[in-house]
Amino acid sequence: MQEHDESHAQAQSEPAHHDHHRHNHEVTVVVDNKPHRVESGNYVVSQFKKDVHVDASRELDEIIKGELIPLDDNAAITIKGGEKFVSHVRRGGSS
């Protein structure tokens, strides 16, 4: 019986690897003109890029009222559904 309890506890704790954002409900966002289903909630941009299959080497901009808003990989974003994004090769420049 104890073995069954341990596997049950494991099954309940499986979603813990998704703690990078709070789960609400699944919504659609558009990235590079392709729809993606993701959980609504808060994301770090670098994790959001992984979730929508954008290569880590690319920059991600959000399209807000027709303007491209650059998103830093370490920034936090909130996904509510309907957001639009575009990825592109990182621009040059020395730091």
Q: Considering the entire predicted model, what is its pTM?
A: 0.71
**Ordered mean pLDDT values, 10 residues apiece, the chain (95 residues):** 47 43 80 97 97 97 97 97 96 60
User: How many domains are contained in the chain?
Assistant: 1
CB atoms within 10 A of CB 49: 22
Please give the pLDDT value at position 79. 97
The pLDDT assigned to 21 comes to: 47
The answer to whether residues 71 and 61 touch, using CB atoms and an 8 Å cutoff, is: yes
Q: Distance (Å, rounded) from C-alpha 49 to C-alpha 6? A: 34
4 inside domain: no
Indicate which CATH number applies to the domain containing 60.
3.10.20.90
The domain in which residue 78 lies consists of 18-89
Residue 62's pLDDT is what? 98
